Protein backbone atom coordinates (compact mmCIF):
# COMPACT_ATOMS: atom_id res chain seq x y z
CA UNK A 1 0.00 0.00 0.00
CA UNK A 2 1.15 3.51 -0.70
CA UNK A 3 -0.22 6.99 -0.45
CA UNK A 4 0.15 9.69 -3.10
CA UNK A 5 -0.55 13.33 -2.36
CA UNK A 6 -3.60 14.89 -4.01
CA UNK A 7 -4.64 18.31 -2.92
CA UNK A 8 -5.12 18.45 0.79
CA UNK A 9 -6.16 14.84 1.04
CA UNK A 10 -3.95 11.93 0.41
CA UNK A 11 -5.20 9.58 -2.16
CA UNK A 12 -5.13 6.01 -1.13
CA UNK A 13 -3.92 3.77 -3.89
CA UNK A 14 -3.86 0.09 -3.40
CA UNK A 15 -0.95 -1.79 -4.77
CA UNK A 16 -2.58 -5.10 -4.16
CA UNK A 17 -6.06 -3.76 -4.27
CA UNK A 18 -9.26 -5.11 -2.89
CA UNK A 19 -12.90 -4.14 -3.08
CA UNK A 20 -12.93 -2.00 0.04
CA UNK A 21 -10.10 0.05 -1.51
CA UNK A 22 -12.39 0.76 -4.41
CA UNK A 23 -15.05 2.10 -2.08
CA UNK A 24 -12.51 4.43 -0.48
CA UNK A 25 -11.31 5.58 -3.92
CA UNK A 26 -14.93 6.38 -4.91
CA UNK A 27 -15.39 8.50 -1.84
CA UNK A 28 -12.21 10.47 -2.52
CA UNK A 29 -12.79 10.88 -6.26
CA UNK A 30 -16.35 12.09 -5.84
CA UNK A 31 -15.37 14.52 -3.12
CA UNK A 32 -12.67 16.00 -5.33
CA UNK A 33 -14.96 16.37 -8.29
CA UNK A 34 -17.53 18.12 -6.15
CA UNK A 35 -14.95 20.46 -4.71
CA UNK A 36 -13.64 21.66 -8.08
CA UNK A 37 -14.69 25.28 -8.17
CA UNK A 38 -13.83 26.13 -11.78
CA UNK A 39 -13.22 24.51 -15.12
CA UNK A 40 -9.45 24.49 -14.76
CA UNK A 41 -9.39 22.70 -11.42
CA UNK A 42 -12.04 20.28 -12.66
CA UNK A 43 -9.75 19.40 -15.56
CA UNK A 44 -6.97 18.83 -13.00
CA UNK A 45 -9.21 16.40 -11.15
CA UNK A 46 -10.02 14.59 -14.39
CA UNK A 47 -6.32 14.17 -15.18
CA UNK A 48 -5.51 12.98 -11.70
CA UNK A 49 -8.15 10.25 -11.81
CA UNK A 50 -8.77 9.36 -15.44
CA UNK A 51 -5.73 10.77 -17.27
CA UNK A 52 -2.99 8.54 -18.79
CA UNK A 53 -1.32 8.49 -15.41
CA UNK A 54 -4.48 8.83 -13.44
CA UNK A 55 -5.18 6.90 -10.28
CA UNK A 56 -7.92 4.78 -11.78
CA UNK A 57 -6.01 4.25 -15.01
CA UNK A 58 -3.12 2.89 -13.05
CA UNK A 59 -5.41 0.88 -10.83
CA UNK A 60 -7.00 -0.82 -13.82
CA UNK A 61 -3.58 -1.75 -15.08
CA UNK A 62 -3.04 -3.84 -11.98
CA UNK A 63 -5.83 -6.26 -12.98
CA UNK A 64 -3.51 -8.56 -14.89
CA UNK A 65 -1.19 -8.92 -11.96
CA UNK A 66 -3.94 -9.89 -9.55
CA UNK A 67 -4.82 -13.38 -8.43
CA UNK A 68 -7.22 -14.87 -11.03
CA UNK A 69 -10.08 -15.28 -8.53
CA UNK A 70 -10.04 -11.54 -7.74
CA UNK A 71 -9.68 -10.24 -11.27
CA UNK A 72 -13.29 -10.38 -12.37
CA UNK A 73 -14.81 -8.72 -9.33
CA UNK A 74 -12.02 -6.15 -9.04
CA UNK A 75 -12.04 -5.35 -12.76
CA UNK A 76 -15.82 -4.87 -12.75
CA UNK A 77 -15.71 -2.67 -9.66
CA UNK A 78 -12.81 -0.58 -10.93
CA UNK A 79 -14.44 -0.09 -14.36
CA UNK A 80 -17.76 0.82 -12.79
CA UNK A 81 -15.97 3.36 -10.63
CA UNK A 82 -14.26 4.80 -13.70
CA UNK A 83 -17.65 5.23 -15.38
CA UNK A 84 -19.12 6.81 -12.26
CA UNK A 85 -16.25 9.26 -11.92
CA UNK A 86 -16.52 10.18 -15.62
CA UNK A 87 -20.25 10.77 -15.16
CA UNK A 88 -19.70 12.86 -12.07
CA UNK A 89 -17.05 14.90 -13.90
CA UNK A 90 -19.48 15.47 -16.75
CA UNK A 91 -22.23 16.63 -14.41
CA UNK A 92 -19.86 18.91 -12.58
CA UNK A 93 -18.61 20.28 -15.89
CA UNK A 94 -22.11 21.31 -17.02
CA UNK A 95 -22.86 22.78 -13.63
CA UNK A 96 -19.69 24.89 -13.72
CA UNK A 97 -20.32 25.94 -17.33
CA UNK A 98 -23.86 27.01 -16.47
CA UNK A 99 -22.61 28.99 -13.51
CA UNK A 100 -19.93 30.65 -15.64
CA UNK A 101 -22.55 31.59 -18.26
CA UNK A 102 -24.79 33.04 -15.59
CA UNK A 103 -21.93 35.16 -14.35
CA UNK A 104 -21.15 36.41 -17.84
CA UNK A 105 -24.78 37.23 -18.58
CA UNK A 106 -25.09 39.10 -15.33
CA UNK A 107 -21.96 41.12 -16.17
CA UNK A 108 -23.10 41.90 -19.71
CA UNK A 109 -26.71 42.72 -18.97
CA UNK A 110 -27.96 46.11 -20.25
CA UNK A 111 -28.72 48.41 -17.36
CA UNK A 112 -32.23 49.48 -18.15
CA UNK A 113 -32.62 51.25 -14.85
CA UNK A 114 -30.90 54.47 -16.06
CA UNK A 115 -33.30 57.30 -15.30
CA UNK A 116 -34.79 58.72 -18.54
CA UNK A 117 -34.36 62.36 -19.49
CA UNK A 118 -36.75 64.53 -17.56
CA UNK A 119 -39.85 65.43 -19.52
CA UNK A 120 -40.22 69.18 -19.61
CA UNK A 121 -43.82 70.17 -19.29
CA UNK A 122 -44.66 73.13 -21.46
CA UNK A 123 -47.10 75.86 -20.60
CA UNK A 124 -49.15 78.50 -22.33
CA UNK A 125 -47.30 81.58 -23.55
CA UNK A 126 -47.96 84.59 -21.30
CA UNK A 127 -49.72 86.37 -24.16
CA UNK A 128 -51.98 83.34 -24.70
CA UNK A 129 -52.73 83.30 -20.98
CA UNK A 130 -53.56 86.99 -21.11
CA UNK A 131 -55.81 86.63 -24.15
CA UNK A 132 -57.66 83.74 -22.52
CA UNK A 133 -58.16 85.73 -19.35
CA UNK A 134 -59.44 88.72 -21.35
CA UNK A 135 -61.85 86.45 -23.23
CA UNK A 136 -63.00 84.83 -20.01
CA UNK A 137 -63.73 88.15 -18.32
CA UNK A 138 -65.65 89.55 -21.27
CA UNK A 139 -67.53 86.27 -21.61
CA UNK A 140 -68.96 86.94 -18.16
CA UNK A 141 -70.46 90.09 -19.68
CA UNK A 142 -71.88 88.30 -22.69
CA UNK A 143 -69.07 88.88 -25.20
CA UNK A 144 -68.21 86.13 -27.65
CA UNK A 145 -64.59 85.73 -28.82
CA UNK A 146 -64.08 85.71 -32.59
CA UNK A 147 -60.99 85.98 -34.78
CA UNK A 148 -60.24 87.50 -38.16
CA UNK A 149 -57.62 87.59 -40.92
CA UNK A 150 -54.19 89.13 -40.41
CA UNK A 151 -53.79 89.76 -44.13
CA UNK A 152 -56.49 92.30 -44.76
CA UNK A 153 -57.99 94.56 -47.40
CA UNK A 154 -57.39 98.30 -47.19
CA UNK A 155 -61.19 98.35 -47.43
CA UNK A 156 -61.68 96.85 -43.95
CA UNK A 157 -58.51 98.14 -42.30
CA UNK A 158 -59.17 101.75 -43.33
CA UNK A 159 -62.05 102.55 -45.68
CA UNK A 160 -64.92 101.04 -43.68
CA UNK A 161 -63.42 102.55 -40.52
CA UNK A 162 -63.95 106.03 -41.86
CA UNK A 163 -60.31 106.43 -42.88
CA UNK A 164 -60.46 107.07 -46.63
CA UNK A 165 -57.47 107.49 -48.95
CA UNK A 166 -55.50 110.59 -47.99
CA UNK A 167 -56.97 110.78 -44.48
CA UNK A 168 -54.28 112.03 -42.06
CA UNK A 169 -55.13 109.22 -39.61
CA UNK A 170 -53.46 106.83 -42.04
CA UNK A 171 -50.13 108.35 -41.00
CA UNK A 172 -50.67 107.00 -37.47
CA UNK A 173 -50.66 103.47 -38.83
CA UNK A 174 -47.28 102.75 -40.40
CA UNK A 175 -48.57 100.07 -42.68
CA UNK A 176 -46.91 97.00 -44.14
CA UNK A 177 -48.40 96.74 -47.61
CA UNK A 178 -48.54 93.48 -49.48
CA UNK A 179 -47.80 93.46 -53.17
CA UNK A 180 -49.60 90.75 -55.06
CA UNK A 181 -47.08 88.89 -57.25
CA UNK A 182 -49.92 88.02 -59.65
CA UNK A 183 -50.68 91.69 -60.18
CA UNK A 184 -53.78 91.90 -58.02
CA UNK A 185 -56.36 94.65 -58.22
CA UNK A 186 -54.76 98.12 -57.78
CA UNK A 187 -58.10 99.37 -56.49
CA UNK A 188 -58.14 96.76 -53.72
CA UNK A 189 -54.82 97.15 -51.86
CA UNK A 190 -53.80 94.41 -49.44
CA UNK A 191 -51.93 94.91 -46.16
CA UNK A 192 -51.07 93.33 -42.85
CA UNK A 193 -53.76 94.64 -40.55
CA UNK A 194 -52.50 97.49 -38.40
CA UNK A 195 -55.16 96.89 -35.74
CA UNK A 196 -58.00 94.51 -34.90
CA UNK A 197 -60.60 97.18 -35.67
CA UNK A 198 -61.30 95.92 -39.23
CA UNK A 199 -63.15 93.06 -37.51
CA UNK A 200 -65.74 95.61 -36.36
CA UNK A 201 -66.90 96.00 -39.95
CA UNK A 202 -66.54 92.30 -40.77
CA UNK A 203 -68.63 91.21 -37.77
CA UNK A 204 -71.31 93.83 -38.41
CA UNK A 205 -71.51 92.78 -42.07
CA UNK A 206 -71.85 89.13 -41.15
CA UNK A 207 -74.31 89.50 -38.26
CA UNK A 208 -77.32 91.47 -37.11
CA UNK A 209 -77.51 93.31 -33.77
CA UNK A 210 -77.39 92.66 -30.91
CA UNK A 211 -73.66 92.12 -31.27
CA UNK A 212 -71.15 91.63 -28.50
CA UNK A 213 -67.74 90.35 -29.55
CA UNK A 214 -64.12 90.33 -28.41
CA UNK A 215 -61.53 89.97 -31.18
CA UNK A 216 -58.00 89.10 -30.05
CA UNK A 217 -55.28 88.82 -32.64
CA UNK A 218 -51.93 89.77 -34.12
CA UNK A 219 -51.39 93.14 -35.72
CA UNK A 220 -48.48 94.64 -37.63
CA UNK A 221 -46.82 98.04 -37.80
CA UNK A 222 -43.83 99.16 -39.84
CA UNK A 223 -42.01 100.61 -36.84
CA UNK A 224 -38.76 100.51 -34.95
CA UNK A 225 -38.88 98.51 -31.72
CA UNK A 226 -38.05 99.60 -28.21
CA UNK A 227 -39.06 98.52 -24.70
CA UNK A 228 -42.66 99.58 -25.40
CA UNK A 229 -43.06 99.00 -29.15
CA UNK A 230 -42.97 95.92 -31.32
CA UNK A 231 -43.67 95.72 -35.04
CA UNK A 232 -45.70 92.57 -34.46
CA UNK A 233 -47.95 92.61 -31.42
CA UNK A 234 -51.41 91.69 -30.18
CA UNK A 235 -54.56 93.65 -29.63
CA UNK A 236 -58.07 92.81 -28.66
CA UNK A 237 -61.00 94.64 -30.06
CA UNK A 238 -64.35 94.93 -28.34
CA UNK A 239 -67.60 95.73 -30.07
CA UNK A 240 -71.16 95.98 -28.79
CA UNK A 241 -73.95 97.03 -31.13
CA UNK A 242 -77.62 97.30 -30.23
CA UNK A 243 -80.32 99.92 -29.90
CA UNK A 244 -80.00 102.33 -26.96
CA UNK A 245 -76.34 101.60 -26.25
CA UNK A 246 -74.65 104.56 -24.58
CA UNK A 247 -71.22 105.67 -23.48
CA UNK A 248 -72.24 104.73 -19.92
CA UNK A 249 -72.41 101.10 -21.05
CA UNK A 250 -68.92 101.43 -22.49
CA UNK A 251 -67.51 102.85 -19.28
CA UNK A 252 -69.28 100.28 -17.15
CA UNK A 253 -67.94 97.39 -19.22
CA UNK A 254 -64.37 98.72 -19.21
CA UNK A 255 -64.42 99.46 -15.49
CA UNK A 256 -65.66 95.99 -14.80
CA UNK A 257 -62.95 94.55 -17.01
CA UNK A 258 -60.21 96.60 -15.32
CA UNK A 259 -61.35 95.56 -11.87
CA UNK A 260 -61.46 91.87 -12.79
CA UNK A 261 -58.14 92.01 -14.60
CA UNK A 262 -56.06 94.17 -12.28
CA UNK A 263 -57.88 94.06 -8.97
CA UNK A 264 -60.12 96.49 -7.19
CA UNK A 265 -57.38 98.98 -6.32
CA UNK A 266 -56.52 99.84 -9.95
CA UNK A 267 -57.86 103.11 -11.24
CA UNK A 268 -58.98 103.65 -14.80
CA UNK A 269 -58.98 106.95 -16.63
CA UNK A 270 -60.94 108.08 -19.69
CA UNK A 271 -59.63 111.11 -21.57
CA UNK A 272 -60.98 112.63 -24.77
CA UNK A 273 -59.13 111.37 -27.80
CA UNK A 274 -59.64 111.14 -31.51
CA UNK A 275 -60.22 108.09 -33.68
CA UNK A 276 -61.91 108.34 -37.09
CA UNK A 277 -64.13 105.34 -36.39
CA UNK A 278 -65.54 106.45 -33.02
CA UNK A 279 -67.30 109.61 -31.96
CA UNK A 280 -66.87 110.60 -29.23
CA UNK A 281 -63.57 108.83 -28.61
CA UNK A 282 -61.56 108.30 -25.46
CA UNK A 283 -58.20 107.08 -24.44
CA UNK A 284 -58.16 104.39 -21.72
CA UNK A 285 -55.41 104.36 -19.11
CA UNK A 286 -54.72 102.54 -15.86
CA UNK A 287 -52.74 103.91 -12.95
CA UNK A 288 -49.13 102.70 -13.01
CA UNK A 289 -48.62 99.41 -11.20
CA UNK A 290 -44.99 100.17 -10.36
CA UNK A 291 -45.21 103.61 -8.78
CA UNK A 292 -48.88 103.31 -7.87
CA UNK A 293 -49.66 106.38 -9.95
CA UNK A 294 -47.28 108.73 -8.19
CA UNK A 295 -45.08 109.11 -11.29
CA UNK A 296 -41.88 110.91 -10.36
CA UNK A 297 -38.83 109.02 -11.57
CA UNK A 298 -40.85 105.90 -12.47
CA UNK A 299 -39.47 104.46 -15.69
CA UNK A 300 -42.42 102.16 -16.31
CA UNK A 301 -44.91 104.98 -16.80
CA UNK A 302 -42.35 107.61 -17.75
CA UNK A 303 -43.32 109.60 -14.68
CA UNK A 304 -46.91 110.18 -15.76
CA UNK A 305 -48.40 107.74 -13.27
CA UNK A 306 -50.62 106.30 -16.01
CA UNK A 307 -50.28 103.47 -18.47
CA UNK A 308 -52.16 103.70 -21.71
CA UNK A 309 -54.16 100.61 -22.55
CA UNK A 310 -55.92 101.64 -25.75
CA UNK A 311 -58.74 103.61 -27.19
CA UNK A 312 -62.50 103.46 -27.18
CA UNK A 313 -65.59 105.31 -28.18
CA UNK A 314 -69.05 105.17 -29.71
CA UNK A 315 -69.06 103.61 -33.16
CA UNK A 316 -69.03 106.43 -35.72
CA UNK A 317 -72.26 106.82 -37.77
CA UNK A 318 -70.20 106.55 -40.97
CA UNK A 319 -68.96 103.14 -39.86
CA UNK A 320 -72.51 101.99 -39.13
CA UNK A 321 -73.70 103.28 -42.49
CA UNK A 322 -70.75 101.61 -44.23
CA UNK A 323 -72.00 98.19 -43.21
CA UNK A 324 -75.63 99.02 -43.96
CA UNK A 325 -76.84 99.91 -40.47
CA UNK A 326 -79.09 102.86 -39.70
CA UNK A 327 -77.35 105.10 -37.09
CA UNK A 328 -80.68 106.53 -35.98
CA UNK A 329 -81.80 103.07 -34.88
CA UNK A 330 -78.53 101.37 -33.94
CA UNK A 331 -75.63 102.44 -31.79
CA UNK A 332 -72.56 100.74 -30.56
CA UNK A 333 -69.39 101.14 -28.61
CA UNK A 334 -65.96 99.83 -29.45
CA UNK A 335 -62.59 99.60 -27.79
CA UNK A 336 -59.17 98.33 -28.66
CA UNK A 337 -56.34 97.47 -26.27
CA UNK A 338 -52.82 96.14 -26.47
CA UNK A 339 -52.45 92.61 -25.13
CA UNK A 340 -48.73 93.01 -24.37
CA UNK A 341 -49.42 96.14 -22.37
CA UNK A 342 -51.83 94.21 -20.16
CA UNK A 343 -49.47 91.24 -19.84
CA UNK A 344 -46.68 93.65 -18.86
CA UNK A 345 -48.92 95.30 -16.29
CA UNK A 346 -49.92 92.02 -14.71
CA UNK A 347 -46.46 90.43 -14.64
CA UNK A 348 -44.24 93.45 -14.14
CA UNK A 349 -42.47 92.70 -17.41
CA UNK A 350 -40.19 95.66 -18.18
CA UNK A 351 -39.67 95.11 -21.92
CA UNK A 352 -42.28 94.21 -24.53
CA UNK A 353 -39.66 92.37 -26.62
CA UNK A 354 -39.35 89.64 -23.98
CA UNK A 355 -42.63 88.17 -25.21
CA UNK A 356 -41.26 87.32 -28.64
CA UNK A 357 -37.68 86.42 -27.71
CA UNK A 358 -38.72 82.99 -26.44
CA UNK A 359 -36.15 82.96 -23.65
CA UNK A 360 -37.36 80.11 -21.42
CA UNK A 361 -35.82 81.69 -18.35
CA UNK A 362 -38.33 84.49 -18.79
CA UNK A 363 -41.30 82.49 -20.11
CA UNK A 364 -41.09 79.92 -17.31
CA UNK A 365 -41.71 82.66 -14.77
CA UNK A 366 -45.37 82.66 -15.72
Q: Which of 90, 84, 72 is nearest to 26 (CA)?
A: 84
Which residues, listed in sequence order, are joined to residue 57 by a DSSP beta bridge? none
Is the Cβ of residue 49 or residue 158 nearer to ligand DAH in the bound state?
158
Q: Please state, as a whole number, how many other Cβ atoms lie within 10 Å of the Cβ of residue 64.
A: 8
**Closest to ligand DAH by CB, 44 or 280:** 280
Question: Could you say whether residue 156 binds ligand DAH (CB under 6 A)?
Answer: no
Q: Which member of 312, 320, 339, 344 binds ligand DAH (CB under 6 A)?
A: 312
From the list 11-19, 38-46, 69-77, 309-317, the region that binds ligand DAH by CB under 6 A is: 309-317
Compare residues 148 and 311 and give the one whose CB is closer to ligand DAH. Answer: 311
Cβ(307)–Cβ(337) below 8 Å: no
Nearer to ligand DAH, 334 or 352 (CB): 334
Closer Cβ to ligand DAH, 17 or 310, answer by number: 310
Cα–Cα separations (whole angstroms), residue 61 to 72, 75, 89: 13, 9, 21
Q: Which of 293, 310, 322, 332 binds ligand DAH (CB under 6 A)?
A: 310
Residue 152 lies near ligand DAH (rule: CB under 6 A):
no
CB 145 within 8 A of CB 216: yes
Smallest gap from residue 113 Cβ to ligand DAH (A):
58
Cα 344 to Cα 357: distance, rounded to the nearest angstrom: 15
Nearer to ligand DAH (CB atom), residue 197 or residue 349: 197
77, 90, 86: which is closest to 23 by C-alpha? 77
**Binds ligand DAH (CB under 6 A): choice among 138, 270, 275, 355:** 275
Which run of H or of E encompasses 151?
A: strand 151-153
Among 25, 335, 339, 352, binds ligand DAH (CB under 6 A): 335
State the number of CA atoms in the 13 A half-sphere of 53 facing the CB.
2
C-beta separation of 339 from 234 below 8 A: yes
Pick one of 157, 175, 278, 331: the residue that binds ligand DAH (CB under 6 A): 278
Give the range of 58-66, 84-92, 96-104, 310-318 binding ligand DAH by CB under 6 A: 310-318
157 binds ligand DAH (CB under 6 A): no
d(CA 326, CA 318): 10
- Report the site for ligand DAH in 62-101 (rule: CB under 6 A): none
Window contacting ligand DAH (CB under 6 A); options: 6-14, 205-213, 329-337, 356-364 = 329-337
Name which of 92, 77, 26, 93 is nearest 55 in CA terms: 26
- Phi/psi at 45 (5° precision): -65, -40
Q: Does 192 bind ligand DAH (CB under 6 A)?
A: no
User: How far is residue 26's CA from residue 81's CA, in Å, rounded to a whole number?
Assistant: 7
Among 46, 48, 82, 195, binds ligand DAH (CB under 6 A): 195
Phi, psi of 348 (to 5 degrees): 70, 25
Q: Return residues touching ligand DAH (CB under 6 A).
A: 195, 197, 237, 275, 278, 281, 310-313, 334-336
Amino acid sequence: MRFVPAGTERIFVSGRGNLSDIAELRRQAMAEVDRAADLASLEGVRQRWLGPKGVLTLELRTIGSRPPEERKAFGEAANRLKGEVAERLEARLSALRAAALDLRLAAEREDLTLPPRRVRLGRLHPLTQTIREVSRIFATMGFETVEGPEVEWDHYNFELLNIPQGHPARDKFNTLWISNPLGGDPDRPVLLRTHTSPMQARVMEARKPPIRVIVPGRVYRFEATDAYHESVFFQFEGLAVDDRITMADLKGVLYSFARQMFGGERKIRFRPDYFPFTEPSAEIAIDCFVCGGTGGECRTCGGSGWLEMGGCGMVHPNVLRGVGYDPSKTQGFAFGCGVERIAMLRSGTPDIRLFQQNDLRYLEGF
